Amino acid sequence: MAAELVRAAIESKDTPERLRFYYYTAGTGGAGPTILATSFLLLGEEVVVYNKGEKITMKPYSAMLNVDFGKGIGKRDVYLLNLPEVSSAHEILGVPTVSARFGTSPFFWNWGMEAMTTLLPLEFLRDRYRVQILVQLFDPFVRALDGIAGERVSMRVDLECASGRHTVGIFSHRKLSVSVGFSTAAFALAILEGSTQPGVWFPEESQGIPVEAREVLLKRASQGTFNFVMNRSPWMVETNPKEFGLGIYL
């Protein structure tokens, strides 16, 4: 999605300047202890972001923004998290300012994650054995609330360019487990059809998914979504992100 936004901007003779990834999952999205363990381990990693080409590290689960994911999801709080697409998008797509944020619901899970980064040392959160104990402790409570929260998932990608052009891509599905299946199948089909080069690639690399194959891949991956838009202006998804406690706009 990010690569397609950047491609459209460049084809319009514009210069991409800022790329922001926003993610939301209701509860664990039906993934249970798997996503719980991953989230806890990420809380033990300093967050890498890029600001005008400069690599910066920040505290995990900080710098909250309230972001509108559009219909069916609405506005959600999201926090900085160390995700690999930040570095790959910066290096491969050449965007100078890149960041990624994640949020969940019910809202108090966000508060709990934020508190963990304050109350627990990074060394604790980097210890897989200790994290597994935490997962076993919290898993029954999380599973109980998952039945109420559901497993909706939404991804939003924002691109801002030198001209002032601002475009958005949104992917929202009612069930994370189903959307993951469609997305995995879409990449598998691209490989079977010979669209990819041998090796291991980031999705935004042309050797992984060539430009001409992206439209088909996104069409396949978006099956069952209740909201999938690309290259829209922000006002078309009623977005109004608000910034809290961050001196630089990431």
Question: Domains in the chain, ordered, with CATH?
Answer: 2-174+226-241 (3.30.360.10)
Residues contacting 77, CB < 8 A, separation 6+: 64, 65, 66, 67, 103, 107, 110
pLDDT tens string 155-202:
999 999 999 999 999 999 999 889 999 999 999 999 999 989 999 999
Read off the tokens for 80: 């900085």
Q: Positive or negative CA dihedral for 211, 217, 222, 223? A: positive
Q: How far is 214 from 8, CA to CA, in rounded Å? A: 12
- Asked whether residue 129 carries a pLDDT value surpassing 90, the answer given is no
pLDDT tens string 59-86:
999 999 999 999 999 999 999 999 999 9
Q: What does each C-alpha distance from 233 to 92, 161, 218, 230 come to in angstroms?
A: 24, 12, 19, 9
Average pLDDT over residues 83-90: 96
More confident residue, 220 or 32: 220
Q: What is the DSSP string of 52-119?
A: TTEEEEE-TT-S-EEEE--TTT-EEEEEE---THHHHHHHHS--SEEEEEEEEESHHHHHHHHHHHHH
Q: Write down the pLDDT at residue 33.
A: 67
- Asked whether residue 228 carries a pLDDT value surpassing 50, the answer given is yes
SS3 216: helix
Q: Positive or negative CA dihedral for 229, 51, 82, 211? A: positive
Q: How far is 4 from 13, CA to CA, in rounded Å? A: 14
SS3 214: helix
Q: How far is 105 from 154, CA to CA, in rounded Å? A: 12
Residue 57 burial (CB count, 10 A): 11
SS3 28: coil
- Between CA 102 and CA 208, with CA 18 as vertex, the angle to 5 degrees is 75
**What are the phi and psi torsion angles at 150 (to 5°)?**
80, -160
**pLDDT-above-90 percentage for the chain:** 60
The structure's pTM equals: 0.88
* 85 within 8 A of 100, measured Cβ to Cβ: yes
Q: How far is 52 from 62, CA to CA, in rounded Å? A: 20
Q: Where are the beta strands (DSSP E) in 164-226?
A: 166-173
Q: What is the gyration radius of the CA atoms in the chain, in angstroms?
A: 18
